Structure 1
Amino acid sequence: MDQVCFALPVISGKTEDARAFFKELEGSRKAEFARSEERIGIPKESWYLQQTPTADLLIGYMESPDFARALDLFARS
């Protein structure tokens, strides 16, 4: 199982937009998101917001039997 963890900077002033996006994924779009993750082969995905004095970061963690394939399928969807 591939395990991938990464940090993405949030554009200044967009932290609330990021929160709203992930709230939507956990709410009204939860079933659609779960189907998408299953289709591309990511059985586990977690996101966290890390606030620092210099910038806010989105920390992503994913597990996949073949992350390269999952990323390719995501990019082509």
Structure 2
Amino acid sequence: MAGKNEAHRRIAAEVKRPRRSGFDAFHERAGVTEDWWIQSTPMGDLVLRYLESDDLAAAMAHLARAQDETEVWFKKATLARCRPPSGQDRAQQCARHRWGTRRG
């Protein structure tokens, strides 16, 4: 995540302050518990994300079809930071690696 610490910190600040109620409502609608942080390593900084849900596939399906203003903002803010390998669909790649829904 070289050079992206500030972008992630801005997202976190928005989630904690002006978008907090919308983000909490998203978690309730999607049925997820989430936590994320920046971890410094010898190889550089990493964003670590923890998601828990009784049905993670349903939670991700909810996010994929979400039209709520906060959810749309969050998708754009986080998907913009994914860099899929050449030739792969950005949303699909990010869903696999960011949200832990690996399939085939």
Aligned runs of 1:18-57 on 2, under 5 Å?
A: 18-42=8-32, 44-57=33-46
The TM-score normalised by the length of structure 2 is 0.59
- Kindly tell me the number of residue pairs found equivalent between the two proteins: 66
More strand by share: 1
Unaligned runs of 5+ in 2: 67-104
Alpha-carbon distance between aligned partners in 2 of 1:47 and 1:39, rounded to the nearest angstrom:
19
More helix by share: 2
The TM-score normalised by the length of structure 1 is 0.77
Runs of 4+ in 1 over 2 A off after TM superposition: none
Unaligned runs of 5+ in 1: 1-9
CA RMSD, 1 decimal: 1.1
Question: Highest relative contact order (Cα 8 Å, sep 6+), 1 or 2?
Answer: 1
